[in-house]
Chain A
């Protein structure tokens, strides 16, 4: 207990260690929150989701907080649904089974930018006679723009922004702009209350339809969306537990086994030592990433299979040599001699006497190793070898890169996962460096 208290007292002298610890703590909180807020299956489902899951979110939208920094406010998505809000719908019986079903969408639009897309989704139920709808757009300055007249099937999507006939009526301007633009200055938005009136006729008893208007904004959520309309927040959140567990497991796994092997090599000497050193020489020139690529391609892309190979190759990496030289010193000490004199077994000497002695040196080493494994996961994902199911930071970067986010100016897409990666890396590296100085007296003054 006293040792730990003493340790924290020492740690207090290193502001970088405190900062590192704080970052790690925040990341762990974020990871726990992610796992509980979005359960694993749901995260996988959302991230693999086809267009149905993400029909109501804009494509490549920036994060909402962009509006804080710009004078010209960009719109967020407006979503009006008559199935959810029955007050938008009015039914008038015309007799003979026919009735008039009107849906009126009314919304305030006070942004400076135009929306990115507009779509109208219909769902209807009928037996044989298809309901008919007539759609009109009413601007705040009172202009009435007839949009379309159509017969509905069970489900229809009217992609207003791709309606070329409407575009021609709007003097060749794309509908998502033309419907909102000031006729005198087409680059300006007319602010105020817009109205979409859908006058429908159903021809059967019990037939009905519902409409959903989505005016896609240019901003969405805390982190924006990607090219498949998926909310990036999910990948940012879920990337945290994945990155942390991959980095920690790889670092802990490989350094613990490395240490045991080094201890065994030193204790038994002879051929055990020789074999381990030869394996180390081979592993040093084995190109880690190409080997992982082969494993990813030929066997399994699962992040846990990759983790196993990483640990296996990491065991015989360069650190085994430094542990070996440490254990060589430990082996000479008097208390090992004493243990041998009372007849302690090899296992007892290795696990009870040799390993505990070097654990303080192990801790900074493994903490500084964590970031390299976190980045390794990202590296694999950028090479298209990311886990096929899980959303991770690396996969976000890969998507962004393959969609040319840097060329098209979608910087948020690259920067957000990158910043999280940097933060995680920095947190562990800063802590590790400070620990190294605490445990390594030769470095203390420097």
Chain B
């Protein structure tokens, strides 16, 4: 009878603990999410301060107002009876009224918070020169159109990089001291070069000299009708940029992680597990990979931050129609609204990456699960 009771108690405790775990993870994630959101807000605010240092945001808004007013007045038939001077006077007056309406005459500190809100919601008005492929001039539409290719390229590159690095690092730690291990250690410094730099060499070898893969772009022109063929075409165009992303970081990450694995595999509990006769795979999974994962994820987050930054040039080099190449064309055309928009988008993307990694971190780190992390 007593036995049954204790067993029941145990199950009750167990369920309580699991729900407690989930609760803790949720709480941790929520906290992280809120902190990140606040950081994004401050980051975007800083970006707007920088952009407005030269008065560019103000100019942008005023330009929009002037355009609207002149369109309005041009459409007004009564204006046709007035003289040129009168027309100009009415135009100026209307512009001044609108400027007061929008609040451009208010002190900068007051305005900057409204800009912040517009920036955060990507409500940046119209681009000065650039058009989206569908013909829209709204910054939000232009950015939205370019977001998918960027996400496609970066997500596949980053995922591939993470998994190949983990497996490669495990493989190396198993063959510690072998020729391939020493080659990787010697190659680790090559990761000093960013992904676009490897991209140039990959284009030179595989596109210019061998002609196996396209120079750049995202899809064959004209795009194939069959959706399968289209997917194959996109894949073909992705090989080189993704290859450049992986190549630029794989030696360094596998070198660092292999070193982590080696340090952790000399722990006593690993020897203990070996003594118990567990298989190598089981030891690696449960005793080496598990405790190192939080550290690995943190270091991967840093790699990713570098990769996002490099993506602008990577997309430019490969002509990939994403946010990065948009940034490049906006720079060349001096399209201020689009440039401010890309800064905001990149801040969001970085924050999102950090946030996702934080969630994964919470899932794999026992300290978060058991609430020990707070101490």
- A318 adjacent to B302 (CB under 8 Å): yes
A442–B263 touching, CB < 8 Å: yes
Given A382-B196, A382-B313, check contact A298 B56 (CB 8 Å): yes
Cα–Cα, bound, A291→B339 (Å): 10
Chain B residue nearest in CB terms to A16: B186
> Whose C-beta in chain A lies nearest to the C-beta of B262?
A446
User: Is B188 in the interface zone, CB < 8 Å from A?
Assistant: yes
Judge if A173 is at the interface, Cβ distance under 8 Å: no
Interface-side segment among A63-71, A193-201, A215-223, A371-379: A371-379
Within 357-408 of A, Cβ neighbours of B (below 8 Å) are at 368, 371-372, 375, 378-379, 382-385, 397, 401, 406-407
Min CB distance A295 to B, Å, is: 7
- Give Cα A432 to B255, complex, Å: 14
Given A291-B47, A446-B259, CB of A285 within 8 Å of CB of B193: no
**Bound Cα distance from A383 to B326, whole angstroms:** 11
Are A401 and B327 within 8 A (Cβ)?
no
B39 within 8 A of A: yes
Contacts of A433 in B (CB 8 A): 188-189
Q: B312 — which chain A residues lie within 8 A by C-beta?
A: 289-290, 293, 383
Q: Does B201 contact A (CB under 8 A)?
A: yes
Q: In the complex, A415→B317 CA distance in Å?
A: 15
B160 interface residue per 8 A CB criterion: no
- Do B328 and A383 have beta carbons less than 8 Å apart? yes
Question: Which residues of chain B are near A443, meaning CB under 8 Å?
Answer: 259
Residues of A within 8 A of B243 (CB): none
CA distance A101 to B201 in the complex (A): 55
Q: What is the size, in residues, of chain A's interface with B at 8 Å between Cβ atoms?
A: 50
Structural contact, A285 and B347, CB atoms closer than 8 A: yes
Distance between Cα atoms of A225 and B32 in the complex (Å): 54
Name the contact of B347 in the complex, choosing from A287, A422, A426, A430 (C-beta under 8 A).
A287
**Could you tell me if B196 and A379 are in contact, using CB atoms closer than 8 angstroms?**
yes
In the bound complex, residues from chain B placing their C-beta under 8 Å from that of A368 are: 192
Tell me whether B192 and A285 are in contact (CB under 8 A): no
CA distance A304 to B42 in the complex (A): 26
In the bound complex, what is the Cα–Cα distance between A407 and B204 (angstroms)? 9
Interface centre among A284, A287, A443, A446 (most CB of B within 10 A): A287
Contact indicator per residue, chain A 14-37, by CB within 8 Å of chain B (1) or not (0): 001000100000000000000000
Instruction: Kindly state whether residue A232 has any CB partner on chain B within 8 Å.
Output: no
Which residues from B are CB-within-8-Å of A422? 190, 193, 197
CB-defined interface of B180-197 with A at 8 Å, one 1/0 digit per residue?
Answer: 000000101111111011
Across the interface, do B189 and A285 meet the contact criterion of CB distance under 8 Å? no
Contact partner of B308 (CB less than 8 A), chosen from A287, A375, A407, A409, is A287
Asked if A281 and B342 sit within 8 Å, CB to CB, the answer is no
Give the residue of A290, A297, A446 whose beta carbon is less than 8 angstroms from that of B346.
A290
**Cα separation A418 to B263 with both chains bound (whole Å):** 36
Q: Within the complex, which residue of B35, B50, B193 is in contact with A295, where a contact is CB–CB below 8 Å?
A: B50
Counting CB contacts under 8 A, is A8 at the interface? no
Instruction: Give the residues in chain B near A375, CB-CB below 8 Å.
Output: 192-194, 197
Which of A281, A289, A371, A421 has the most B CB atoms < 10 Å from its CB?
A289
- Say whether, besides A422-B193, A426-B189, A430-B189, A297 and B331 are in contact (CB < 8 Å): yes
The yes or no answer to A349 lying at the interface (CB within 8 A) is no
* B215-A379 in contact (CB<8A): no
Instruction: Pick from B40, B50, B313: contact of A294, CB below 8 A.
Output: B50
B233 to A: closest C-beta gap in Å: 20
In the bound complex, residues from chain B placing their C-beta under 8 Å from that of A383 are 312-313, 316, 327-328, 331
**A87 to chain B: closest CB distance in Å?**
48
Q: At the interface, is chain B mostly helix, strand, loop or mixed? A: helix
> Which residues B187-216 have CB closer than 8 A to chain A?
188-194, 196-197, 200-201, 203-204, 207-208, 215
Count of chain B residues with a beta carbon within 8 Å of a chain A beta carbon: 59
**B residues less than 8 Å from A385 (CB atoms):** 331
Question: Which residue of the partner chain A has the closest CB to B45?
Answer: A282
Min CB gap B10→A, angstroms: 39
What is the CA–CA distance of A407 and B339 in the complex, to the nearest angstrom? 29
**A371–B189 alpha-carbon span in the complex (Å):** 10
| Chain B residues closer than 8 Å to A411, beta-carbon distance | 204, 208
Q: How far is the CA of A401 from the CA of B314 in the complex (A)?
A: 13
B194 touches A406 (CB 8 A): no
Question: Is B234 among interface residues, defined by CB-CB distance under 8 A?
Answer: no
Q: Mark out the residues of chain A between 417 and 446 whose CB falls within 8 Å of any chain B CB in the assembled complex.
A: 418, 421-422, 425-426, 428-430, 432-433, 442-443, 446
Q: Specify which of B51, B203, B259 is in contact with A406 (CB 8 Å cutoff).
A: B203
Contact of B39 among A281, A409, A429 (CB under 8 A): A281
Asked if A214 CB lies within 8 Å of chain B CBs, one says: no
Question: Are B193's CB and A298's CB within 8 A?
Answer: no
- Chain A residue numbers with a CB within 8 Å of B122 are none
Give A445's nearest chain B residue, CB to CB.
B262
Pairwise interchain contact B331-A384, C-beta atoms closer than 8 A: yes
Q: What separation, in Å, do the CA atoms of A443 and B42 have in the docked complex?
A: 39
**Contact in complex: A282, B42 (CB < 8 Å):** yes
Q: Are A407 and B43 neighbours in the complex by a CB distance under 8 Å?
A: no
B107 adjacent to chain A (CB < 8 Å) = no
B351 within 8 A of A: yes
A299 at the interface (CB under 8 A from B): yes
Q: Is the CB of A425 within 8 A of B313?
A: no
Closest chain B residue to A425, Cβ basis: B192
Q: Is B215's CB under 8 angstroms from A285's CB? A: no
A288 interface residue (CB < 8 Å to B): yes
Does chain A have a CB within 8 A of B124? Answer: no
B192 touches A294 (CB 8 A): no
**8 residue pairs, one from A and one from B, having the closest CB atoms:** A429-B189, A371-B192, A287-B346, A425-B192, A298-B54, A290-B343, A429-B192, A289-B309
Query: 5 pairs across A/B with beta carbons < 8 Å?
Result: A285-B40, A289-B313, A291-B50, A375-B192, A397-B200
Residues of A within 8 A of B (CB): 16, 20, 281-282, 284-291, 293-295, 297-299, 318, 368, 371-372, 375, 378-379, 382-385, 397, 401, 406-407, 409, 411, 414-415, 418, 421-422, 425-426, 428-430, 432-433, 442-443, 446
B interface residues (Cβ-Cβ under 8 A, vs A)? 35-36, 39-40, 42-43, 46-47, 50-51, 53-54, 56, 176, 186, 188-194, 196-197, 200-201, 203-204, 207-208, 215, 259, 262-263, 302, 305-306, 308-310, 312-313, 316-317, 327-328, 331-332, 334, 339-340, 342-343, 346-347, 349-351, 354
6 extra A-B contacts, CB within 8 A, seeds A289-B309, A384-B328, A385-B331: A286-B46, A287-B343, A378-B197, A383-B328, A422-B197, A429-B192
